Amino acid sequence: MDAGVRGKGKPHISEVAKVAERAKHEIPLGSIYPDTSGTPDADDVSQVDIDFSREHWKKHVPKPPAPTHLLPDEEYRQVCASVPILCIDLIIRNNMTGEYLQVKRTNEPLKGEWWVVGGSVRLNETNMEAAANRIANDELGINVFNLHPIGYYTERYAETPHGPKHTLSIVFSCEIAEVQVQHIELDQQSVEFRFDTDLPKRFKQRCNLSHKMFI
């Protein structure tokens, strides 16, 4: 299902509380069973969860440490040829509809395919939850909440802009509120987004989870 524009303006905390309460009792029956045990009560939903604009992120969320230097392309090729690259992948659930966010990639690897949102961990970025929300904000322009590490995804790609690459991703499940959908702004990594009741087949087949999440 393609995402539509629904709702107007910034969500009030009561709106997020309502969808969080609904998520406790209504688990969508798809090919994935989300772990909703950590869904927050109304009092646990913080204002930063619903202040999802890039401007808010820049002003109110601590800036992650920048790399001390950027490697020239040829040196990064050598790194990719020698060691795995640490990444984060996000299973993002709309907690009103129960559908999962996918983006169509513009670059290799997986160019032109629908995939989950993800990105590389930066040098000196030691808080993985903060890194996950930074990646969501960089690539979607919104914040996520209910972040839970649920496993890992490892892949070897034969073709990337820097040659063959082996990636190791920490997989997080997380949620966004329905009202946030209209505020999604993709970066140059993706050309469009959609919501679906399923996840990419290749992603599901290669995910290694700490608890049973797929049927």
Lowest mean pLDDT, pick from 9-13, 94-98, 207-211: 9-13
The domains of the chain, with CATH numbers, are: 13-62+83-209 (3.90.79.10)
Question: Looking at residues 187-195, what average pLDDT do you find?
Answer: 94
Decide which of 22 and 66 is more confident: 66
pLDDT at 29: 29
Q: Would you say residue 40 has pLDDT above 90?
A: no
Q: What is the pLDDT of residues 130-161, one digit of tens each?
A: 999 999 999 999 999 999 999 999 999 998 88
pLDDT level of residue 58 (50, 70, 90 thresholds): low
**DSSP string for residues in the chain:** -B------SPPPHHHHHHHHHHHHH----SSB----TTPPPGGG--HHHH--SHHHHHHHSPPPPPPS----HHHHHHHHHHS-EEEEEEEEEETTT--EEEEEESSSSSTTSEE-EEEEPPTT---HHHHHHHHHHHHHSS--EEEEEEEEEEEEES--TTSSEEEEEEEEEEEE-GGGGGG----TTEEEEEEESS--HHHHHHEEESS--B-
pLDDT at 16: 46
pTM of the predicted structure, to 2 decimals: 0.71
